[in-house]
């Protein structure tokens, strides 16, 4: 749970190969960054989790942090409402008009 302290496990994280991507404007401004798209979820010892979720998994915090997970989406929204704990996605007013997806954070993908 949030705020819990987990003792060191001594387990070394073996992350699956992941793809990272960035989209820039012609002016060189980053407008989208995606991290941790796993290529082979059976590789490594994180049960297919990459980036921070792989680290948390290795530390002993087993989150179901997959797109479409309602509980994870609720946790993200509560964190945004409370404020001061970072963001999982941009504020609506900061998202450019050309961005068509309405999915945010752990929301299910709406593009297909």
Residue of 48 and 109 predicted with greater confidence:
48
DSSP for 29-65, written as a single string: -EEEEEEEEES-TTSSSSTT--HHHHHHHHTT-----
Both tokens of residue 60? 């002993």
User: If you average pLDDT over every residue of the chain, what do you get?
Assistant: 83
Residue of 1 and 90 predicted with greater confidence:
90
DSSP helix/strand/coil, 104: coil
Q: Is the pLDDT of residue 83 over 60?
A: yes
Q: How far apart are CA 2 and CA 21, in angstroms?
A: 29
Q: Which residue has the tokens 């404020």?
A: 83
Lowest-confidence region among 11-20, 33-42, 102-111? 102-111
What backbone torsions phi and psi does residue 53 show, to the nearest 5 degrees?
Answer: -70, -35
Separation in Å, CA 53 to CA 24, 40, 77, 92, 100: 25, 15, 18, 24, 26
pLDDT tens per residue, range 61-76: 877 766 678 888 888 8
Residue 24 neighbours by CB distance under 10 Å: 11
pTM: 0.55
Q: Which residue has the tokens 């999982």?
A: 88
């Amino acid at each position: 749970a949030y705020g819990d302290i987990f003792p060191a496990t001594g387990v070394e994280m073996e992350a699956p190969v992941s793809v990272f991507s960035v989209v820039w404007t012609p002016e060189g401004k980053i407008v989208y960054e995606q991290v941790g798209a796993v290529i082979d979820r059976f590789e490594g010892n994180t049960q297919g989790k990459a980036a921070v979720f792989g680290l948390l998994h290795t530390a002993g915090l087993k989150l179901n942090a997959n797109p479409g997970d309602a509980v994870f989406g609720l946790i993200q929204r509560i964190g945004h409402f409370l404020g001061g704990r970072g963001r999982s996605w941009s504020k609506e007013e900061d998202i450019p008009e050309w961005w068509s997806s309405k999915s945010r954070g752990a929301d299910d993908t709406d593009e297909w």
